[in-house]
Structure 1
Amino acid sequence: MESMTNDHTQKVLSAVDEAFDASVEELKSLVRIPSVAFGGFDPAKLDESASAVKALMESTGVFDSVRIERVPVAPGSEEFGQPAIIARREAAPGKPTVLLYAHHDVQPWGDEALWKTPPFEPTVIGDRLYGRGASDDKAGVMTHVAALRVLQQIAPDSGLGIALFIEGEEEYGSRSFANFLETHKETLRSDVIVVADSDNWSTTVPSLTVSLRGNVKFGLTVTTLDHANHSGMYGGAVADAPLAAIRLLNTFWDENGSSAVEGLLSAEHTAPDQDEQQVRDEAGVPEGVSLIGSGRVLDRLWNDPAITVVGTSLPDVQNASNTILPTATFVVSARIAPGQSSADALAALERHVEKHTPFGAKAEITNVELGDPFLVDTTGPAVRAMKESMADAWGNEAVEAGIGGSIPFISLLEQEFPNAEILVTGVEDPGTMAHSPNESQHLGVLRNAIASEALLLTRLATGGLG
């Protein structure tokens, strides 16, 4: 791949900077739309958001046609997924095609009393733009829009192929994603895939995400009785379901809080050193409360399995009574290390539950959701081009980072387009607080993310993948 000249690099960066204020204003307009895909929220807002993104993509001048599409959540289903935006510009002979992915749906906003500013009134405080979706992932959408405008301005006749997929239900589990890929495979077929939905090392140092843990989420229902009983009459002789369930759940971890499930594997990849205090500060761990696990902290977050109880059917405090409960259900989320399939991990968890359920209780695993991990081959030409572009845009070399969370649809992209290089980039930083009250986008990070992608596209336009 040919290196870009300093003059060409500066021309791209200048174009990004000249349009940046306008890009921020367009991002604010997107943030004002409460585009939540969860049930119980106004679906018209998703349609409004999709239309706004469609108009932005049309404004780039890159595509002859931009479409809003919906597909059934599965082949033959009568239930449809949420509106997504797709487009394609065919590549000239010898030029690669790049697929740009982001999502326009957002998390619910929760308790507005916990927000410093109204969640859908974008507000700049210092160097951050606050609002639900300001970062995750409407800033990703605007990164693509702004980068495409620069490509069209700098190299309008480059012949670089561009495919576009802006999803409308990522926060809701990407339920129609697999069917969408199958239905629109030819529109989305590409050589390089840029997923603008991840993190950066800091506000001054970029990251290229090279590994993601997978996820096995399931309901665990434990039953000890045919019906409820008075705890005064039978307590001490009859096992309540929460007792059996808690005893079972406790076997998931060793004394340090690491996974104790035989068959859940760790990955053998090098992670950078990280100060544990930084993790404590970012996660809000109070003084005196220990971190869990053993070994280097980033290995625990990126390369080791982790099991978390995220929900329960038990009565809340207000509705508690002196009753021996016959059943108890807990929702368990197990993060799976790169290199292990979610199916293998589920089998290990099933064996563990069968072996460790106490008191002869009945334990049932239901409502299973699987997402495979992801590991990038970092030797490809697109990875090199992305890292060079990040260095030029940020003024610092990119960190090859893992992410402890999961993006299950990336493994679907990998299955559908096995020969494509997948670049997981992002607009977030450790202070973003995505999914939480007071989500925000650091404006310096947004500028650098746009510049990185614009430089990548112009590099690929001029040098291809050779």
Structure 2
Amino acid sequence: MPQQPLADAVRSLMDRARTDLAELVAFRSVADPRQFPVEECRGAARWVADAFAAEGLTKVQLLDTPDGTQAVYAELPGPEGAPTVLLYSHYDVQPPLDEDAWLSPAFELTERDGRWYGRGAADCKGNILMHLTALRALRRVDGGYPVGLKIIVEGSEEQGTGGLEQYAQAHPELLAADAIVIGDTGNFTAGLPTVTATLRGMTMVEVSLTTLAGNLHSGAFGGAAPDALQGLVRLLASLHDEHGDVAVAGLTSDQTWPGVQYPEEQFRADAKVLDGVALTGTGTVADRLWARPAVTVHGIDAPPVIGATSSVQAAAKALVSLRVPPGGDALAAQDALIAHLEAQAPAGARLRIERQGAGEPFAADTSGPAYEAMGAAMAEAFGTPMVASGEGGSIPLCNTLQSLYPQAEIVLIGVEEPTTQIHAVNESVDPRELERMALTEALFLHRYAELRSV
């Protein structure tokens, strides 16, 4: 398939991609009814279903998954003998955090300095537009698609409640395919075409510490009364050693990453580390991000500074996540984390630990025809060879798909790159990355059909 007609088609579709992305970003589709009405997610699901139906996909359905959310499913048989490719993404998004900290409204796509800003612009609504734009370009150039297609777009990936995983396990024939393209990662750096070869797993626990029947006056009782907040802070600090490496018995923190490296200065710039602040841990940046465990405190329930009283705190709570590198076992790692917290808790304090689920790490087999086709497509679209990197984040569905369809190749790509600031304020997408990745996917579907068709 010549590259230029598809490249021209993708470029001509970018204005439409921006308009569609603006409509999709406008849905406040956080899959937590405590924060936003469930109608926001349902509206986004309907939008996605209508968009793929408009591109000729059939059997478009809204699937009610066990966690109360909806997944969008669609399919279209391919030419005789052609392979089937499943395209995945998710329409739910992270909460906007402090909306006052956004330079433009979080749910209003805004162009600034050549980028498109808005919650979900990259993660993961931008990847939905990557899929749509690739399919639109193929229809415009070829009048159809060279492979059989299945589409699945879930609605609770960010919440980690596992609705789609449970649905897929109950309906194992639904998502069967020869190759699966997970549109939920991105390039190592803008302009460098990248497939994600590994993902860390993740587990979370909620830790509650109680030391008193109720808060006490810090003048009358402070210094002798056991302060739950201070105890919790000490407990959380024990999870790392003096270098910042994870210090949980049973978890190893000396693994090394053999692939593409992440220069420290580039990481400092990408992560916006303040001048003079040291990085956490030892080893290379790639070792720390992709090969080793990481413990992060996601939140603490404690009195805010404004409005705080002069009190010794009777109770405190934290949400702690543990990222598990490839080769590890998420449930065993969770057990080790809990055992550490129990052993390090203040003597006599009432400690309560609630498990919040676990997703296993993932490693892809990069030796098959799908990776060969993706490498060729990326080289054509970007003008530079494809590289493979790890990803410190987690996509539990990958393991579910790997177990259900062991013969299917799973390829992780997307429009995200380090400057998109996913999960943070002022999330954005570079439209040039969206354009090149849409072209990559369109070229990939042609190359893969050529390699696999009989």
Per the normalisation by structure 1, the TM-score is 0.90
**In the alignment, what sits opposite 1:291?**
279
Please report how far the alpha carbon of residue 444 of structure 1 lies from its aligned counterpart in structure 2 after TM superposition.
Answer: 0.6
Match of 2:41 in 1: 46
Q: How does 1:236-275 map to 2 (within 5 A)?
A: 236-266=223-253, 267-275=255-263
Aligned CA distance change for structure 1 residues 330 and 351 (closer, same or farther; 3 Å): same
Q: 1:13 aligns with which of 7, 10, 23?
A: 7
Aligned partner (choices 31, 35, 47) of residue 29 of structure 2:
35
Counterpart in 1 of 2:374? 386
- Runs of 4 or more, structure 1, over 6 Å off, are none
**In structure 1, C-alpha distance between the alignment counterparts of 2:19 and 2:167, rounded to whole Å:** 31
1:214-251 CA distances to partner (integer Å, 9 max, x unpaired)?
Answer: 11211112233455444444444443223333332222
Aligned 8 A contact 2:91 2:153 in 1: yes
Residues 170-202 of structure 1: CA distance to partner in whole angstroms, max 9, x if unpaired?
223244122221344323111211111112122
The amino acid that maps onto 2:276 is G
- Residue aligning to 1:457: 445
AA partner of residue 401 (structure 1): S
CA deviations on 1:320-350 (whole Å, 9 max, x unpaired) are 3343333322211111111111101011112
**Residues 19-418 of structure 1 correspond to what in structure 2 (within 5 A)?**
19-39=13-33, 40-61=35-56, 63-73=57-67, 80-81=68-69, 83-92=70-79, 94-156=81-143, 160-266=147-253, 267-418=255-406
> Residues 91 and 31 of structure 1: is their aligned pair in 2 closer, same or farther, counting only changes over 3 Å?
same
Structure 1 Cα separation of the partners of residues 99 and 225 of structure 2: 44
Inter-partner Cα distance in structure 2 for 1:395 and 1:389: 10
Q: Could you list the runs of 5+ residues in structure 1 that have no partner in the other structure? A: 74-79
CA distance in 2 between counterparts of 1:337 and 1:209 reads 14
CA RMSD of aligned residues (A): 2.3
Structure 1 residue matching 2:107: 3-state secondary structure? coil
Aligned partners of 2:369 and 2:451 also within 8 Å: no
C-alpha distance in 2 between matches for 1:236 and 1:93: 78
Do the aligned partners of 2:104 and 2:117 also contact (CA within 8 Å) in 1? yes
Tell me, in whole angstroms, the C-alpha distance in 2 between the residues paired with 1:368 and 1:169.
Answer: 15
Q: Which runs of 5+ in 2 are unaligned?
A: none
Q: Do the aligned residues in 1 keep the contact of 2:168 with 2:174 (CA within 8 Å)?
A: no
Given the superposition, is the C-alpha separation of residues 422 and 465 from structure 1 closer, same or farther in structure 2, using an over 3 Å criterion?
farther
AA aligned opposite 2:42: D
Count of aligned residue pairs for this structure pair: 452
Cα separation, 1, equivalents of 2:432 and 2:148: 29
CA deviations 1:386-428 (Å, max 9, x no partner) are 1221111111222211111222222222222222111110101
Q: Is the CA contact 2:146–2:446 (under 8 Å) kept in the aligned structure 1?
A: no
Give the direction of change, closer, same or farther, for the CA distance of 1:397–1:71 in structure 2 (3 Å limit).
Answer: same
- Structure 2 counterpart SS, 1:366: strand
1:76 is matched with none
Is the Cα–Cα contact under 8 Å of residues 151 and 458 in structure 1 kept in the other structure? Answer: no
Q: Percent identity between the aligned chains?
A: 38
Matched residue SS, 2:400 = helix
- Return the offset for 1:119: 2.5
